[in-house]
Amino acid sequence: MIAAFNRWWAGCAGCALALLLLATPARAVQPDEMLADPVLEARARAISREIRCPVCQGESIDDSNAPISRDLRIIIRERLVAGDTDREVVDYIVARYGEFVLFNPRPEGSNLILWLAGPVLFLVGVGVAVTAARRRKAPEATLSEAEEARLRELLKE
Amino acid sequence: MIVEFGHFALILALMVALVQSTLPLWGAQRGDARLMALAEPAALMQLVLVAVSFAVLTWAFVVSDFSLAVVVANSHTDKPMLYKVAGVWGNHEGSLLLWVLILAVYGAAVALFGGNLPARLKARVLAVQGMIGVAFLLFMLLTSNPFWRLAAPPLNGQDLNPLLQDPGLAFHPPFLYLGYVGLSIAYSFAVAALIEGRVDAAWGRWVRPWTLAAWIFLTIGIALGSWWAYYELGWGGFWFWDPVENASFMPWLLAAALLHSAIVVEKRESLKAWTILLAIMAFGFSLIGTFIVRSGVITSVHAFANDPERGVFILMILAVFTGGALMLFALRAGVMEAKGVFALVSRESALVANNIILAVSAFVVFIGTIWPLVAELLLGRTLSVGEPFFNAAFTPFMVALAVILPPGAMLAWKRGALGRSLRALLPALVLALALGALAWAMQTNRTALGPIGVVLGAWVLFGALTDLWSRTGREGVGTRMARLTRLPRADWGKAVAHGGLGITIFAVSAMLAWKIEDIRVVQVGETFPLGTYEVRLDDVREVEGPNYVSTMGFMTVTRNGALVARLQPEKRVYPVAGMPTTEAAIDYGLLRDVYLVLGDRQQSGGWAVRSYIEPFANWLWAGSILMALGGLLSLSDRRYRVAAGARKVPLGVPAE
């Protein structure tokens, strides 16, 4: 376990740097990177919001101002201008940087656990609750006809 | 000398906590009244000792005692006084001391205000509270001692992280800790009840105010953090699904579930085992939150003090307290017979549905947060889980919650009629749909998110108002209005909190759907359009602050030529920490915020400027405040103020 922590810790060497990077988000997407075509630019923004900056802590390349994020933002725009679909652009980046850069893990393979855990637990919870409610239906003392009438009378007052 | 005094007080506090966690427990087991009575003075003594220790550390920060390692690492003589004080908890060691102080405050509060608790239960609750104290005091003294001296004190400190030098953030951690640690009381009550083997309506009534208080503090703390992120981080986002945010969000969701299920225990003596389990889980997730923030296992933008050794220690605390309590639960849960039976359609069932949704959504947040760790350790995959996942996986549960909330809240206890509560809600539904249609027609971009958010938010808000109105009977409007003022505060609390949730739902979707963004290079003197506004960059100047240098833009916002606001967005550099920050300038408004950020100087001579219209941003904070206010109203209900110990006979509570 300790080894694992250490590995994570080592992976976090840029922690202090990350805070520093976070501090100047105003340098994220630069005006000179942006495409003139608003439709293409909107697609580029949407894609870059889902791509994680490879050297930062949990920032998308859209928010990050690390040089590599700028490069990735420019690559995305180049691919889009070249006529790639959104999926092709993302595949292009994943092929080079691995699935680590995907903020939205693809529901494939073991990631299905991640995606399905919530819905499955929800169904289990509903199932348990309903069975418990059914089982609880112990013989409940119901009111007799006369009692019902008396109750209605009382409520009317 | 004074510093050693504080250090010594902390060690004494550990000794007292050891006594508090053992002898009263033993006394309760043997029925020894003298040993049980020891819990009370011990809890008070612990508060005094930890408070002394905390005061000493605060003093060290105020006078900038640079012989202390924490002060050197987190303070500077030039820092404004507010942030010198806030610096006490702006770091790992000091924040832990605050954690322990709040723990002691809660323990002392139980000792002081728990006069009507049965002696045995009180002794056990305080003993469990003492155990938590022992664990955290040991953790602090062994791995994170704030009173560590330096052999050669430097002349000045390294300054607090400038991002944390902000009023919003100065008070964000204390509120969060009041929330996290408040859940420890619910936990202690749960464990004490398990040892006792008895849970009844009175137990539900004792536990609920503490949970409510914790939840109120968590709500305020999270809202403060979110507000800080909104104005400080400079791109108008208010929630990033960052691991540390998730760490505070999971206990909030579970506390919300717990305070609803405790109602069922209190009023119907049902759902006992589940409520106990929730109390354990809620505090367990507080500990997980502590672990996430302080271990560095999960990388995050604002994890401080990342240290594997500390991480292992917290993991041990987590394992002992959660594992131990769950084991006890497994042994004793069978003892807790449910008394009140209820039909499938009933208020109880609605609250069960609420609990399932809240617990599962907390679980979704949990698995999303730890999945990168699990995937790397067990599957050898390095991957990320971020905002898009949480938006997709978490939102459906909140939609479901919003849909069932109004009818569920109006169902009768034991056996309800869905048709009746739906009929009463028909006006609310029509109004919500009409507002949604209006939003659809008025919006310029064709997103479904905005109108759906309007419908859901309005449905919850008007549903809450309908619920409140329905409590006033069937007479004329005048009589009902008069009755409205005399309703129990719990009813008002419920309506206000639910209404606040509706407003929050609306604001979140409005901000996500209708935000306007503009990024461009602007020359000094140039005017550009932003939505229906015009923005002019008048000037950019260098300005000197107390402990920073600022590049300040002077900008004018107008609408059809009429002045709306003059704003000064800044870029600051804090020379001591060597760190730049952005200070966005915001014109707050009822329907929208105008949000301006100054970027870098361009080679062409202009400045990069990012500007946003944030629709209904203030509604988000208003909604959060209303939720907290609703909790507060409920907390001040007569049944908690009047001697709550009156066993099972409800005092002044309508049977509903």
Predicted confidence band of residue B506 (pLDDT cuts 50, 70, 90): very high
Give me the residue spans of the domains in chain A.
2-101, 111-156
Q: Is A98 helix (H, G, I), strand (E, B) or coil?
A: coil
> B359-373, B431-445, B522-536: lowest mean pLDDT where?
B431-445
List CB contacts of B285: < 8 A, sequence separation 6 or more.
B250, B251, B254, B362, B366
pLDDT at B641: 64
Q: Which of A104-108, B382-386, B500-504, B527-531 is the most confident on average?
A: B500-504
- Beta bridge pairs of residue B533: B530
Percentage of chain B lying above the pLDDT 70 cut: 95
pLDDT tens, position by position, B439-473: 888 887 778 888 999 999 999 999 999 999 988 88
pLDDT at A30: 80
Percentage of chain B lying above the pLDDT 90 cut: 54
Taking contacts as CB-CB distances below 8 angstroms, the residues of chain A near B231 are none
Rounded to whole angstroms, the Cα distance separating B465 from B599 reads 45
Predicted confidence band of residue B79 (pLDDT cuts 50, 70, 90): confident
Q: How many CA atoms lie within 13 Å of A99's alpha carbon, on the beta-carbon side?
A: 17
Give me the residue spans of the domains in chain B.
1-165, 194-405, 406-514, 516-617
Taking contacts as CB-CB distances below 8 angstroms, the residues of chain A near B303 are 15
Whether residue B453 contacts residue B510, with contact meaning beta carbons closer than 8 Å, is answered with yes
pLDDT tens, position by position, B255-310: 999 999 999 998 888 888 899 999 999 999 999 888 877 766 665 444 444 566 77
**pTM assigned to the model:** 0.89
Picking from B301, B359, B381, the nearest residue to A18 by CB comes out as B301
ipTM of the complex: 0.85
pLDDT at B39: 93
Q: Which residues of chain A have pLDDT under 70?
A: 1-27, 136-144, 156-157
Q: Is B151 helix (H, G, I), strand (E, B) or coil?
A: coil
CB of B305 less than 8 A from some CB of A:
no
pLDDT at B58: 95
**Residue whose C-alpha is closest to residue B182's, from B206, B223, B217:** B217
Measured between CA atoms, how close is B357 to chain A, in angstroms? 7
Predicted confidence band of residue B653 (pLDDT cuts 50, 70, 90): very low
Instruction: Say which residue, B332 or A135, is predicted with more confidence.
Output: B332
Q: Has residue B522 got a pLDDT over 70?
A: yes
CB of B319 less than 8 A from some CB of A:
no
pLDDT tens, position by position, B120-140: 999 999 999 999 999 999 999
**Class in CATH terms, B1-165:** mainly alpha
**Residue whose C-alpha is closest to residue A46's, from A67, A26, A21, A29:** A29
Maximum pairwise Cα distance, chain A: 84
Region B193-217: mean pLDDT is 90
Angle (CA) B194-B199-B205 rounded to 5° is 120
Q: Has residue B655 got a pLDDT over 70?
A: no
Predicted confidence band of residue B53 (pLDDT cuts 50, 70, 90): very high
Rounded to whole angstroms, the Cα distance separating B625 from B613 reads 22
Taking contacts as CB-CB distances below 8 angstroms, the residues of chain B near A32 are 521, 602
Label residue B444 exposed, middle or buried (CB < 10 Å: 0-12, 13-18, 19+). exposed
pLDDT at B508: 94
Region B361-367: mean pLDDT is 95
Average pLDDT of the residues of chain B: 88
CB of B250 less than 8 A from some CB of A:
no
With an 8 Å Cβ cutoff, are A117 and B364 in contact? yes
CB of B473 less than 8 A from some CB of A:
no
With an 8 Å Cβ cutoff, are A4 and B386 in contact? no
pLDDT tens, position by position, B140-198: 999 889 998 888 888 888 877 777 777 777 888 889 999 999 999 999 999 999 998 88
CB of B386 less than 8 A from some CB of A:
yes
pLDDT at B375: 87
Residue B485 is which amino acid?
A: T
pLDDT at B511: 92
Whether residue B342 contacts residue A133, with contact meaning beta carbons closer than 8 Å, is answered with yes
Q: Which tokens is B167 given?
A: 């009023």
Rounded to whole angstroms, the Cα distance separating B172 from B195 reads 35
Q: Which tokens is B153 given?
A: 């004190």
CATH number of A2-101: 1.10.8.640
CB of B447 less than 8 A from some CB of A:
no
Picking from B311, B383, B580, the nearest residue to A99 by CB comes out as B383
Region B1-15: mean pLDDT is 93
Whether residue B303 contacts residue A15, with contact meaning beta carbons closer than 8 Å, is answered with yes
Q: Is A122 helix (H, G, I), strand (E, B) or coil?
A: helix
Label residue A149 exposed, middle or buried (CB < 10 Å: 0-12, 13-18, 19+). exposed
